[in-house]
Structure 1
Amino acid sequence: MMNESAAIRSPLSTAEFAAIGDGHIAYVKPILSEELNALFPQAPELEPGLRLFALLGADGSPIVVADTREALVESAREHELVTVSIH
């Protein structure tokens, strides 16, 4: 029999979930050049079809973009961020 102290906590809110790992975790997301300006409005227009990689903060905020995953992982390491891939 379950008592009140064993009640299950409700799922995290979007804000609470985004705050987990803030400043510690970054996501590597493969993108196409057509998606670049949506994440990085200041970036120059590139020819379509180029495969790029975006480094995003735990809250989804863009940090940096590169043409190789390795370059992003190294950049994250330099900033003491743990990287996680998303697809």
Structure 2
Amino acid sequence: MLLREATARLTQSELANIGAGEVAYVRKMHSEEVSRCFPEAPDIDPSVDLWALFGADGTPILLTDNRSSTFYKAAEDELKTVSLH
């Protein structure tokens, strides 16, 4: 008897919503990237190290110069964090 391999198919919308409201990711950012993700942010000195917290779907949550602040905000919002390199 042959067993068929089950293939899970997710729609683009379902894939985008995996982890929504539960997972956030932390990423180091360069000042030139800020305006793309945080259009309201003022010009930032390129020598400043920046850290951003994003929702699982890529929604920007927080921009800071203090990495610890991203984890504090995630914990405050009851989000599990992952880091992107």
TM-score tier by shorter-chain length is 0.7 to 0.9
2:73 equivalent in structure 1 = 75
Write the distance in 2 (CA, Å) between the matches of 1:68 and 1:56. 15
1:51/1:13 CA distance change after superposition, 3 Å: farther
Contact 1:34–1:49 (Cα < 8 Å) also in 2: no
The C-alpha deviation readout for 1:29-77, integer Å capped at 9, x for no partner, is: 1101111111000111112232211100000111111112111100110
3-state SS of paired residue (2:45) = coil
| SS of residue matched to 2:72 | helix
Aligned to 2:56: 58
Taking structure 2 as the reference length, the TM-score comes to 0.86
* CA RMSD, Structure 1 to Structure 2 (Å): 1.7
For structure 2, the residue ranges without an aligned partner over 5 or more in a row are none
2:35, 2:78 → 1: CA distance? 26
Q: 2:39 aligns with which of 38, 41, 65?
A: 41
Report the counterpart of residue 23 of structure 1 in structure 2. 21
Structure with the bigger percentage of helix: 1
Percent identity over paired residues = 44
- Give the distance between the partners of 1:49 and 1:8, measured in 2 at CA: 51
* Runs of 4+ with >3 A deviation: 10-14
